[in-house]
């Protein structure tokens, strides 16, 4: 009889997707208490038998219905272990969800069990008055693990990073593998690495995928100036510090690839052709070819950001851990190369060859001075301009020996599709509508994403420990739902 696969705490389907990429078919059973999560799972894994119930209310014997279980995957709620929760009280009931593993292990004895959680899962211990007892840190985890071993399972655990296996996020997670079939537990070897490492340079590993890959550069990035509702003071300060850290002070800032929607178009000679700023058409920019470029970085927004702290990253590295609320904004700097006479763009209307001495740079200068200048090196706007070449405080930027001025700064929050891409989901994954045709609001999409397991984790772990069930084993005909298809359908043996 064919072994089945069960995904407990299935959520929107991250682990199930990775498992499907490995074995070429949907998981047999998915369990989750959240109707919205199950609806997303149903949309993407229609062949799966779904249980929209509390995991404790599902009888493993009835669910298995006499079928042997090859793999039981568990991703219990992690927020009451995660350091992201801060100092808020924890709930003993939620921290104890992992006990469900022993129920399945005792009643239906899966051949392989894999549990995923945050790194702090190993600190699982008693709780008193909503606070973990520090002196008993890890006690409950060791007791839980010993009970699993007493049921005949060999148990190993390790922390893995998603970026090392082809996901464009640095997300790190704790994994525990337990198996009772006498076969050795196998931990997958990394497939990707730091681009500067010898392993990547020699071709033994692929370079980490980057945050820049998951950005949809065709989406406009509106100017932060002239908004109907001005950005909050703290937001402007974060942007300014990010511009300084990731563009001005960065010897190799991320430059948006050529051909994107919002790069200015430039024409040679005296032709005054149309161009485009970050949000609107830009007219009569009389500069020579390739005189403008756009640099970009990601700003990270958290309420606990300390004064003066810059949270963000460039786009040439994997994206940081994606939370359940959208905390990432794309910030772009539209730069104009200085060559002889300077030309630029007004921030709110078409431009007709206004020189740099005009007011078109006033807002940017004031912005830069206000947010990372100080009384000693700043100046008021009604006095003569101080020497520009001192410390880049007036929008003057030198990139690889070439001088530029900041024409505009744009910002937008990342879209759910980009966040799912950052989490490693296939681009074909359905995130905006459930199996019944009901549309998800963006907040719900982001929540599903932040709670999801990067599919690369489950794919490589299943391939390493259950190769006999995977595509390429020569034992099965499989429909690869998430691979680029050749023709209408693609099958593999």
CB-based contact 52:456 (threshold 8 Å): no
Residues ≥6 apart with Cβ < 8 Å to 216: 415, 417, 418
451: CB partners within 8 A, 6+ apart: 11, 12, 37, 324
As to burial, measured by CB atoms within 10 angstroms (0-12 exposed, 13-18 middle, 19+ buried), residue 450 is middle
52: its two tokens: 């929209």
Q: What distance in Å separates the CA atoms of residue 365 and residue 227, rounded to the nearest whole number?
A: 17
C-alpha distances in Å from residue 128, one per residue of 88, 132, 138, 258 = 13, 6, 14, 57
Cα–Cα distance for residue pair 71/54, rounded to 1 Å:
20
Tokens of residue 168, six digits: 């464009």
The catalytic residues are 78
CA distance 264 to 266: 6
Range list of β-strands (E), 277-319: 281-282, 292-300, 312-313
Q: Are strands 29-31 and 4-8 parallel, antiparallel or unpaired?
A: parallel
Structure tokens at 455: 């599919």
Q: How far is CA 307 from CA 19, 88, 172, 238, in A?
A: 43, 22, 27, 10
């Amino acid at each position: 009889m064919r072994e089945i696969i069960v995904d407990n705490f299935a959520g929107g389907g991250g682990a199930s997707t990775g498992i499907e990429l490995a074995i070429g078919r949907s998981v047999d059973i998915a369990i989750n208490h959240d109707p919205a999560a199950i609806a997303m799972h149903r949309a993407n894994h229609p062949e799966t038998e779904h249980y929209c119930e509390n995991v404790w209310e599902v009888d493993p014997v009835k669910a298995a219905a006499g079928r042997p279980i090859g793999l039981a995957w568990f991703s219990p709620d992690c927020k009451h272990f995660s350091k992201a929760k801060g100092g808020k009280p924890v709930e003993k009931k939620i921290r104890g969800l992992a006990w469900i593993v022993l129920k399945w292990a005792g009643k239906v004895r899966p051949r392989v069990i894999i549990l995923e959680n945050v790194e702090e899962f190993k600190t699982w211990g008693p709780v008193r008055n909503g606070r973990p007892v520090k002196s008993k840190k890890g006690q409950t985890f060791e007791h839980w693990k010993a009970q699993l071993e007493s049921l005949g399972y060999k148990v190993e655990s390790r922390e893995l990073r998603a970026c090392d296996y082809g996901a464009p996020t640095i997300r790190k997670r704790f994994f525990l593998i337990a198996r009772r079939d006498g076969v050795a537990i196998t931990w997958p070897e990394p497939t990707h690495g730091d681009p500067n490492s010898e392993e990547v340079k020699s071709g033994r590993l692929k370079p980490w995928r980057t945050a820049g890959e998951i950005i949809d550069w065709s989406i406009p990035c509106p100017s932060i100036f002239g908004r109907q509702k001005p950005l909050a003071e703290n937001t402007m300060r974060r942007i300014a510090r990010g511009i300084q850290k990731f563009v001005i002070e960065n010897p190799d800032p991320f430059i948006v690839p050529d051909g994107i929607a919002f790069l200015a178009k430039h024409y040679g000679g005296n032709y005054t052709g149309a161009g485009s700023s970050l949000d609107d058409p830009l007219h009569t920019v009389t500069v020579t070819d390739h005189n403008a470029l756009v640099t970009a970085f990601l700003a990270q927004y958290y309420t606990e950001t300390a004064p003066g702290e810059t949270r963000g990253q460039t786009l040439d590295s994997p994206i940081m851990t994606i939370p359940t609320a959208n905390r990432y904004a794309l910030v772009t700097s539209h730069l104009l190369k200085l060559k002889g006479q300077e030309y630029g763009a007004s921030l709110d209307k078409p431009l007709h060859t206004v020189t740099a001495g005009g007011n078109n740079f006033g807002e940017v200068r004031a912005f830069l001075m206000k947010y990372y200048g100080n009384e000693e090196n700043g100046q008021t706007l009604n006095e003569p301009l101080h020497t520009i070449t001192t410390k880049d405080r007036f929008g003057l930027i030198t990139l690889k020996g070439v001088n530029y001025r900041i024409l505009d700064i744009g910002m937008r929050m990342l879209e759910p599709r980009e966040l799912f891409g950052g989490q490693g989901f296939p681009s074909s994954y359905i995130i905006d509508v459930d199996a019944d045709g009901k549309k998800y609001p963006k907040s719900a999409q982001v929540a599903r994403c932040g709670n999801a397991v990067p599919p690369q984790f489950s794919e490589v772990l299943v391939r390493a420990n259950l190769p006999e069930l995977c595509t390429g084993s020569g034992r099965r005909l499989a429909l690869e739902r998430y691979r680029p298809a050749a023709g209408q359908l693609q099958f593999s043996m």
